[in-house]
Amino acid sequence: QVELQESGPGLVKPSQTLSLTCTVSGASMRIGSHYWSWIRQAAGKSLEWIGRIYTTGSTTYNPSLTSRVSLSVDTSKNQFSLRLTSATATDTAVYYCARGGGWPHWAFDLWGRGTLVTVSS
Amino acid sequence: EIVLTQSPGTLSLSPGERATLSCRASQSANTNLAWYQQRPGQAPRLLIYEASKRATGIPARFSGSGSGTDFTLTISSLEPEDFAVYYCQETINWITFGPGTKVDIK
């Protein structure tokens, strides 16, 4: 079955760049016309969609984060990545990668387990 | 941007009871709405997409209904594993999630 796994530093200093990678296993990312997304959740809060990428490299970002976020994809490694610049304490959250978020599969049907990223000096 | 409101904030029920959760959108979402369940310490799990379609492997006790601005998730008879937080998500505009409804044990 298809599985997603997030990886990256759990601690980032303020003003630095938060970088995470999601590895997709069990199937090629290029099969099935899926978008691939990042979603985050601060402690005790709801979910916030960060952005999505297609295997062609086409991206769409949440307007509230667009100036600081970039997504990339490496289909040869079956991975996609998140970079969030100028991190602040408000970026502290559990970060999830997920499949979905674009036509025709708008709902997120597969999720990674999530990784906690803390922004602190 | 569509704003989603979920009610109630907390629903206290006993196993075997029926749960009715509401999600209201600030403007029409047609049927572009999904529901997720999140248990403590776990990632969200897709339950319902396109307002009323059950995701793969989701038990029949979960059902979704509605269109436009008013949507409902119904759990016909609560099992112990159903006590969790439930989120709705719209997909017609930018992707946004509601604040969640916690279903806890009475």
Per-residue pLDDT of chain B (106 residues; tens, 9 = 90+): 889 999 999 999 999 999 999 999 999 999 999 999 999 999 999 999 999 999 999 999 999 999 999 999 999 999 999 999 999 999 877 899 999 999 999 9
**Contact call for B43 and A113, based on CB within 8 A:** yes
Alpha-carbon span A91 to A8, nearest angstrom: 15
Burial A77-114 (b: 16+ CB within 10 A, else e): ebbbbbebeebeeebbbbbbbbbbbbeebbbbbbbbeb
Report which residue type is found at A63.
P
- Say which DSSP state A50 is in: E
Task: Report chain B residues whose CB lies below 8 A from the CB of A96.
Answer: 43-44
Q: Which among B34, B50, B98 has CB closest to A46? A: B98
B62-87 pLDDT, tens digit each: 999 999 999 999 999 999 999 999 99
DSSP B3-55: -EEEE-SEEEE-TT--EEEEEEESS--TT-EEEEEE-TTS--EEEEETTTEEP
Nearest by Cα to B72 from B95, B102, B52: B52
**Contact call for A48 and B97, based on CB within 8 A:** yes
Task: Report chain A residues whose CB lies below 8 A from the CB of B98.
Answer: 46
**Contact call for A108 and B96, based on CB within 8 A:** no
Residues of B with a Cβ under 8 Å from any A Cβ are: 1, 32, 34, 36, 42-46, 49-50, 55-56, 87, 89, 91, 94-100
Tell me how crowded residue B1 is: count the other CB atoms within 10 A of its CB. 11
A33-87 pLDDT, tens digit each: 899 999 999 999 999 999 999 999 999 999 999 999 999 999 999 999 999 999 9
**Contact call for B94 and A106, based on CB within 8 A:** no
